[in-house]
Structure 1
């Protein structure tokens, strides 16, 4: 028998030589996070502090020894299939970088435990307890467990995000985190109409949202430049109306199966999809697809520019409402979430009288198919339906009259989602030199997107009327995932914290340090981001 240079033959058997034994020993020690001298690497003695998390938790009490994930760690759950689903998600997240099996089991103790139990958690809150013997995440609802898992993820070294085995060690600081969100609506919007994004690209965005406990994905599915969802009763909407995009590219649309896969994937990350069909304006893709939707019976050409306000459904024709009902019925059947967004902004080619008539006809259709109306804040120029939410995208410079309508609606019971364009529109340029984005709402640097309070943003609005915040990303200039990420990061985590954390717990000077620490995680995830000079990135920003 031939043997390699690193083996010796004794007593008729091949044995590893000393060099091989040393190499194997080194590899084993690296796998457990120890050096040949038995010393623990620096990161092992200084796990990520409990208060380094984004969004900032409601309460942090550090103390005690850290917990170390090892080859023998199990993930324990109760008998709940929802808890098991979160546990399987966690195991799948940790296995590639740790190289450990991390079996999910409903037996035994220690390790990582996910448990559902009654407590002061609300629908999305959780408690995380960490010590030498293990980590326990407790929540009343599965969404709380999932958000607790994101906190656990933030407490581990950034290398945990990589898809190859890393040396570790995998320490979680000792102590207790108690947490629950300030607002129930913490959203981001992706405009897939100006430029189309594939199912996989949308899934990548969903994963990035989940990392920061965002719970709503608003998909802008129709506009002048493209219709992106298949509607069986009006097939040319997708096949013709979806055949292009800004600049004249190939466009695209989601089949019903593809849309359902996006909804399923979002739900697995505890995000609710809110689909938007914008109307009566922003409808050129629909008007081009069906001549009968135009008052003159003539279909306009497809549109690949970026102007707004020129299109309108024909409010006086009954066929318009047949169209609306068919679209709402089919989209509602595909969407298990509670909401359907009907747009309503920049309907400059629709008279005020026609706008009011249209909204009075359309809002009951949404309710008929079991959904709650969401509309842009221009809906307050009509009469928002009972229970409707309006999404405010105005600026500091928005007219007093327009703001007064929004305030009045809020005072009368309409809920508000705050998306001020000069604070949280992710498509706004950071500075004059930003190569992507627009600047009609001004330049929005990282501090500006973070340093505001939704509860006090519109004077006269009852604080209880504010349901949350949402960061829209319009895509006139955005064509791929890398560009989405460059515009979203580092602003998106700040908006997530604005929606999750109590106003009194937020401070820019402390936040920017926590934000800088996220850079290593983004590197590990392959996320593009803007190196804002307002953030002390250090070596990670180079």
Structure 2
């Protein structure tokens, strides 16, 4: 995975022209022009770029009389309450939820050509209507609605407004079904509250998969009842020798619940057969020589391995996967599989052949790092590609061959969207084994054409991993994630025709004040013309 190396044409024309207007600060609403500071935000400023934007008509203005109109379902009512909870502190308006009346902001479910996560947002002087076929689609539409309001709407104290939403229609749906972000809680531990904060940030950009890296050499972070020393001892430290930590099952369920409330699915990862020193230190019998190594607080990789020939290894794997699958309502369980340098190739293949069916036995779909393609990926398995632009042709060919035979791919090229890579050589946080990754480099590539010989149908989506060797606080996470996370989200959501650095950097710059209002620490890349504070 990572270490020391180691629209249509018409829609495109519309987006292009709107973005050009946005770049020079011009937008026509169809009404008499308002003062420049109070002009509504053009719908082309949204990140990720919507599939279709049709501007026009008079803006809608949120006032003290505005209500949030919801359908009768509990899910729609929860989304309405979420929206009102964002808007009330900054506007100072009551914004009651109601299931009757006219005008206001309406959230509405109906069957239509929206797909599983698409939506339509229509705004006019009479109100705003968000329509989708699923609650997930409505929730994503709410994120677009947030971005059509001034950044001050994110504040927790009353702001002056006005609160206008530009007239027009946005019709939107994602390019890829899998749009992920990974958080490494093993190298440094992050609390439930800290993970929730990151979930909220991911949701703003329509990320729908949270991959939690729960085990590694430096720490085991999830309670397993049948092997209690994994968390109690294996989770007791972290990189640099700090106190570490682990999640109880109740903690993990709360993360899963909270993620689901933001329409993210949790993908838990137990990395194996390598990256396992925390487990090996906790239980001597998992080692081939029966001797437990000491806990590890460094950052080297590739030195640990479960004992592939021992039956106890598979008893351990079965117990861990069984308990973790029971806690996880989502579809996937990630079994790692990278950098198993201390495992022979024959043992690696034997291990993966034996472990993958265990995942299926407990009702989950296997995800593994792309080294899984060097074994025998089971039917339906997904491989997560973390190689570089200059990864060897032979390794890429192996991945492409697996993709042609039915293995789906999640793209996480390390020198593109590994969020822990330094922006420049002078960046204080992060690593640089994959190179330095400025904002343009992170954005300026096409997942559909990245790997030669891979059919487009094999690409399931993209994921932006965040490894935590150098990251200790939520502020550290935010600084490395923003602004690159927004670009990764756009690569996963927006149509390929909308991907253009010159127009994207204008939309990205408009996100800066929103991050300021949200208290997000971010890197002010010189490649982007950020508004002056």
Q: Does the TM-score normalized on the shorter chain lie above 0.5?
A: yes
Q: Deviations over 1:180-230 (max 9, x none)?
A: 000001000000000000001000000000000000000000000000000
Q: How does 1:124-203 map to 2 (within 5 A)?
A: 124-203=117-196
Structure 1 SS opposite 2:128: strand
* CA distance in 1: counterparts of 2:512 and 2:385, whole angstroms: 31
Instruction: State which structure, 1 or 2, has the greater radius of gyration over its C-alpha atoms.
Output: 1
Find the counterpart in structure 2 of residue 481 from structure 1: 474
Is contact 1:44-1:170 (8 Å) kept? no
- Return the offset for 1:79: 1.2
Q: Deviations over 1:335-384 (max 9, x none)?
A: 00000000000000000000011001100000000000000000001000
Higher relative contact order (CA 8 A, sep 6+): 2
* CA distance in 2: counterparts of 1:446 and 1:50, whole angstroms: 23
TM-score between both structures, scaled by the size of structure 2: 0.93
Find the counterpart in structure 1 of residue 497 from structure 2: 504
Q: 2:219 aligned with 1:231, yes or no?
A: no
Is contact 2:267-2:330 (8 Å) kept? yes
Q: Deviations over 1:143-201 (max 9, x none)?
A: 00000000000000000000011111110000000000000010000000000000010
Q: How does 1:355-374 map to 2 (within 5 A)?
A: 355-374=348-367
Find the counterpart in structure 2 of residue 326 from structure 1: 319
Is contact 1:485-1:527 (8 Å) kept? yes
* CA distance in 1: counterparts of 2:481 and 2:345, whole angstroms: 35
Find the counterpart in structure 2 of residue 440 from structure 1: 433
- Return the offset for 1:474: 0.2
Q: 2:240 aligned with 1:247, yes or no?
A: yes
Q: 2:107 aligned with 1:114, yes or no?
A: yes
Structure 2 SS opposite 1:178: strand
- Return the offset for 1:44: 6.7
Q: 2:92 aligned with 1:104, yes or no?
A: no
- Return the offset for 1:116: 0.5
* CA distance in 2: counterparts of 1:502 and 1:74, whole angstroms: 33
Q: 2:388 aligned with 1:382, yes or no?
A: no
Is contact 2:512-2:531 (8 Å) kept? no
Find the counterpart in structure 2 of residue 282 from structure 1: 275
Structure 1 SS opposite 2:78: helix
- Return the offset for 1:42: 2.9
Find the counterpart in structure 2 of residue 472 from structure 1: 465
- Return the offset for 1:81: 1.2
- Return the offset for 1:249: 0.3
* CA distance in 2: counterparts of 1:396 and 1:184, whole angstroms: 24
- Return the offset for 1:275: 0.2
Structure 2 SS opposite 1:530: coil
* CA distance in 1: counterparts of 2:57 and 2:33, whole angstroms: 18
- Return the offset for 1:538: 3.2
2:197 pairs with one of 186, 195, 204: 204
* CA distance in 1: counterparts of 2:36 and 2:53, whole angstroms: 21
Q: Deviations over 1:306-329 (max 9, x none)?
A: 000000000000000000000000
* CA distance in 2: counterparts of 1:63 and 1:314, whole angstroms: 65
Find the counterpart in structure 2 of residue 424 from structure 1: 417
Is contact 1:431-1:443 (8 Å) kept? yes
* CA distance in 2: counterparts of 1:413 and 1:275, whole angstroms: 23
Structure 2 SS opposite 1:538: coil
Is contact 2:510-2:531 (8 Å) kept? no
Is contact 2:384-2:411 (8 Å) kept? yes
1:299 pairs with one of 267, 292, 296: 292
Q: Deviations over 1:108-135 (max 9, x none)?
A: 1110000001111100000000000000
Is contact 1:124-1:180 (8 Å) kept? yes
- Return the offset for 1:460: 0.5
- Return the offset for 1:45: 4.6
* CA distance in 1: counterparts of 2:145 and 2:63, whole angstroms: 15
Is contact 2:384-2:412 (8 Å) kept? yes
Find the counterpart in structure 1 of residue 5 from structure 2: none
* CA distance in 1: counterparts of 2:239 and 2:34, whole angstroms: 51
Q: 2:390 aligned with 1:402, yes or no?
A: no
1:338 pairs with one of 315, 331, 340: 331
Q: Deviations over 1:86-128 (max 9, x none)?
A: 1111011111111111111111111000000111110000000
* CA distance in 1: counterparts of 2:498 and 2:160, whole angstroms: 35
Give the 3 Å change call, closer, same or farther, for CA 43–70 of structure 1 in structure 2: farther
Find the counterpart in structure 2 of residue 529 from structure 1: 522
2:212 pairs with one of 205, 209, 219: 219
Q: 2:504 aligned with 1:519, yes or no?
A: no
Q: CA RMSD in A?
A: 1.1
Find the counterpart in structure 2 of residue 460 from structure 1: 453
Find the counterpart in structure 2 of residue 12 from structure 1: none
Structure 1 SS opposite 2:532: helix
